[in-house]
Structure 1
Amino acid sequence: MTDDQSETLDGGTIGFTSLPEGVRQIGPYRLISEIGRGAMGTVYRAEHQHLSRTVALKVLPQELAASPDRYARFQREMQAIGRLEHPNIVLATDAGQIDEVCYIAMQLVEGVDLAQLIGDREILASGEACEIARQVALGLGEIDQHEMIHRDIKPSNLLLASNGEVKILDLGIASLRHTPTNADSLTMTGSFLGTPDYVAPEQISSGASVDIRADIYSLGCTLYHLLSGHAPFSGPEYKSLPAKLLGHAEKDAELLNHVNEHIPAELAAIVARMMAKNPNDRYRSPAEVVEALSPFCDGQMLDETARCFGEQIRARAKAALVSGGSPIGEDESTMIQQNVSIKKMPTWKKVAWGLAATLVVLACVGGYQGLTDAKQGNVKQVAAAEKIASHVGEIESDTGRIATSTEQIAMTLDQMQNQFREIASKINEDPQTPAQWYANAIIHAKSGNATEARRAYLQFFESNLNVVDPFQSFASLLRLQEGTAGARETFAAIPGDAALPARQLASIGLQPQAEQRERLQLLANQHPEFGPAYFALSETIQSKPPYDMTLTEKIAKKKLLDEYLRLHDIGQVLKYYLDQSQLEQPIASAQALIEKLQDVDEEQLNHPIKMSTDVSPVNVHEIMLWQGQLRFQFAEDARSPEYRFSAEDEFASLSPERPKQTTQFLQGIAFDPGLTTAETLTLPRANDHGEIEIRYQDRNGVARGPFLLPFDIRQTRQQKAIEWLTVFDKENLIAVSKKSIGFSGILSSGYDAIEQIRYGLNKDQPDQTFPIPTEILQRKLTSDETRVKPGSAIQFVVVQFAYKDGTSSELYRCEP
């Protein structure tokens, strides 16, 4: 079988997409280089000729264009995909057909797909893996909002960009598959769409309905793979495709904490729920997955991995040229491999790629120590204390040289920052200042010289310079080399003043997440002008978009970022960095979040509930009554809301056995993102005015309230009853005959408004009063109970209603 073919499930072959010889242009796109190829087409690095925009151009199988029905489907799906815009989804920018070639233009992202990542690492740290899954769930939330399903979430369809963002690839491509492919590749078999290692049970059954929960199942399988080193049903007993599919359909995967002893039982339970056989037993939405995984995420560790592999991708692009990869265009220097697979390469090419990857990892971490144990998941440790002791001894032997440099060490921060910019690209053979030592440390680390990198860092730490970036970069280096626990121990043993705020900040970043907030708060309290502490403190508030944050989190985050930016404005952030470029991202991030939180204030936190009153009609024994209602809008996701009318009452559920609804604030008050949980309470008849207490839990389970809200529906109820009375003619309200006067129409229509019915009969019986029956709400009244029989012939009657607010109606003159 050639490289251009792969096996189908029935043993046949399918040809990969290929372009005619010499084709270098598809519509407006000039092809630069081939990025990768698979059963659903070939991806090229291409440039839009008119916009000078570089894209990833996927050329789809030619048989797609040959079928009008399939091409029409392709067009519909591409229109739907074009509406998606989310940082965790690779954006589609264009799609079309030129002659018999169908193509999709997508955002070109430098990064590594997760299949490559776990190919290099096998097992990821739980903090990294959970952060990856959390970001994928955020992207799935956007897909779900557009009523779409991916259908093929798996490692090779997820890209870790060099900026730390995880992006979903190939949205909708799975649903275009028709021809069966190899069981190990993304497939539409004769009966399902998906990849056997990650497919949801309901996707296997042709009669089952599929929704976003199928993607949650596949994401659970992917997370299982990241944390265990293998797909959930991949042992010897699952070698055949039917056995693998039967595993997904009927068997439970072994719990993660049994496969990898370092996985917490709580996390294992989350993954197991994502992979539940019955969709109803899984998380109902991607947002719930985000919430469940957030406590286990380590975004900082993932950022470091992404930065390292960003350099690895560039090295792999160069290695591809040496080992046989050939660009289509002539500009080889600009070739960037977005996502080149090594799984189907000949052995000699794999060796070349593996060597290139190893060199880059060495450059990133200053000597690759092994990120994880391939089978056990244990982080490898190094003899840190001995190494540091030896380096400290070397530094002490150079004391004379360092002492002679006191004049240079005393440079101003501005001078050192300027010097760092000038020397950051080359080794200084005779470093005399902290800026030179730090620059050397960075260069040595990137070149893979771990010993010299550590020596330079330790020389810098001897200077006791209170700047953040050297400490943080050294901590990141240690984390990649030794894991978090090993890095924590090594970092604690470095020379210099352990009380420096910048050093404390880096040290806190290596502590367990549960301890970081308290330690950072103490650091900020002790050093209130140390600006970097406030941004770090804001990051301990769960890294969620504003619409997923509680009000308490929003207010806390806004306060910290406001203080961070205030200190930045007066120079109390910049002064703590040698490499000022490292401030660009946190400053931009703080400013963007402040913009999103600009409408949030303490008033909303203290009064998060808006209440309005209303009444609705209800028929009781043929009497139209107006029943009071209280409508509550919450400024955040309110869970388990409860109420009571007095301190003597027990709290009762405000929304028993029904899902919450969402609506905008009735009077235009919109908290970010403009949607709030809404609840309606029907008032007991006796409670037409007074106060009500409301309490609830926010989405983190924190109790809020009780909040005391006054209400009075009496006036509203009377106004509605009076309005209802005006709908009817007097003949419908007052029935007059020669022998009786009937008031049933008045009572049935205006009971809630009327205090008294007064009438005058003929000329000789003025100022009569009709007593309203006391049992009118307890039972249906008889005809006699709503009539007056004066005993003499009725010539005319004059009727007036006295309303409960003290006003009166017009006079009604009625004759038999």
Structure 2
Amino acid sequence: MSGSVEIGGAGPSLLRASLSRTGKWAGGLGVVGGFVADILSPLAPFAAYIALAAAVTAVILAVAIAFRLVLAATALPALVFASTTAALAGGLFALQQASDAEDGVLAGLVPAIAGLQQSMGIVAASVERIEKTVTETAKTVDTVKQATQEVQQTAEKVEQKTEEIAANQAKQQEQAAKLQATTEQIAVSIDTIADGFKALAAQGGVIADPKRPDEFYHNARVHELSGDMLNARRSYLAFAGFSVDAVDPYIRFATLLRIQDGKAGAREVLGALADKNKTLALKLVHAMQFEDAQRIERLNAFIAANPEYPPAYFVVSEEFSEDRLGVQTLADKRNEATALAKFAAYEKDGGLVSHFIDHTLLADWLERSRSRLAALGDVLDPARFMPRLTPMRSNQEWMMTISLPEPATAISWRLGVEGAFTETGFLALNDQVTRKPMPNPSFVVPDRTSADVIAIKYLDLRGRETGPFEIRFDPQAALAEGNKQILDQFWTSWIAFDSGSNTGYVYFTHMLSYRCAIKEVRYSFNGAALDKIIDLPPCDEKDPYAIPYDYKPYFKIGKDIASMSVQVTYSDGTQSPVREFQR
């Protein structure tokens, strides 16, 4: 109790002592601090900051003294300093707010202080510019860093893409290897099925509980032979469920279906199977069930999609065969030969057996292919089947006779490489092959026609256009060739002894008329060497068969002449045999 009174009585004296010792320098520091805070006010409200800090400090010291956390003698000077500073700084901040002086109270009263603040503002602006530069630099660094990261990410993506491409290539190679292995496996399996079928065929009889495709195929054949078409059909359908890519079972099955259901029914059944069973053999046999032009169109489409499937070529060859068409055109023969040649080419590499279970059908196809190719001969040689044109000169025109490699239903020609074609017309009789009016095989051109190209085209017996074929026409060469043919064909007319009542003369009028083919004529009498020459007048291409009015086509001979030997050298350099004429 006494202690408490003692402290309370000593409080005021201790406070006065602290104010006496501390108040003077505390006030001085407060004034200086306020001065500095006022000058720096453009940068920030330092007076408010100082006042707030000092007030907080004073409150803390007062609480500490009140609760005797510190000795009053020790803390009172600091309390006095903090209180004084808070009062002065707070008053200065209040004065700045009241006067609305953003640059401080002293700057408005003392111009020198305003100049100092301006200088400080320059420094501050410079600091701001530096800060701005630093900020922009930092942004640039960030941008560069981001770009670097993007480049790195792009590089990683490229590397990833490269790895993906490599992986895809490896995958494609793996798939190709698997496909090759699968193809080989299928071939092996068909060989195995074929061997099994062959063994079962030798064994005979129906397999009671079939499980393998060769057993179902065997049963189907046995049921067919016995006339049990219902069970044969069931066995074929069961075989189709194994998706074996061999043509002969489906061909036989199609035959059975056409007998039972007709062509439309066979198409329907095989079409439904082809949708489920993706084997090429079944798709080929399904295409075979259509009619005429539609069938050929489907077969050609199949070959276009599967050019390395050999059985398709034999099937297509039959569409153009004599058995199918009755009468073949040249185009039919060429189509048949082309398809058969492609089919036969696979036999050399053993590429046919893997498409057949019953090899008897393959053997039949191969035999028919060889037989037909031999019969067709060199039909694929285009030079052997070109139309031929035989010009024959008269006194006024050229008669052109056309020889075609096959019967035609119409013929057209054109002089030159451009322009319209002209039909030759028809004769007043029917062609025995086509049973239609026979086209006129001849046409004429004027005798003044110069060397040019004559184009020939025709329609075959199916109405398909063939050609045009361009044939070179040289009037001079044609005249010589035509005269030569006549001279060779009618050589017995070269010489005439004692014609009519002109005894003692030998005439050579025939050779004179066709002299445009002759280069030289040598002769002799009674078997002697050919030592004499008949001097013929030159060829007149404008009027080749006329005999000059002042030229004598004969000469006189004696009675001792019993025979005359003649040899003609033609304008093309060839020579006739030595012909002997008896008087």
TM-score computed with the length of structure 1 as normaliser? 0.34
- Name the one with the larger helix percent: 2
Q: Tell me which structure has the larger Cα radius of gyration.
A: 2
- Name the one with the larger strand percent: 1
TM-score computed with the length of structure 2 as normaliser? 0.47
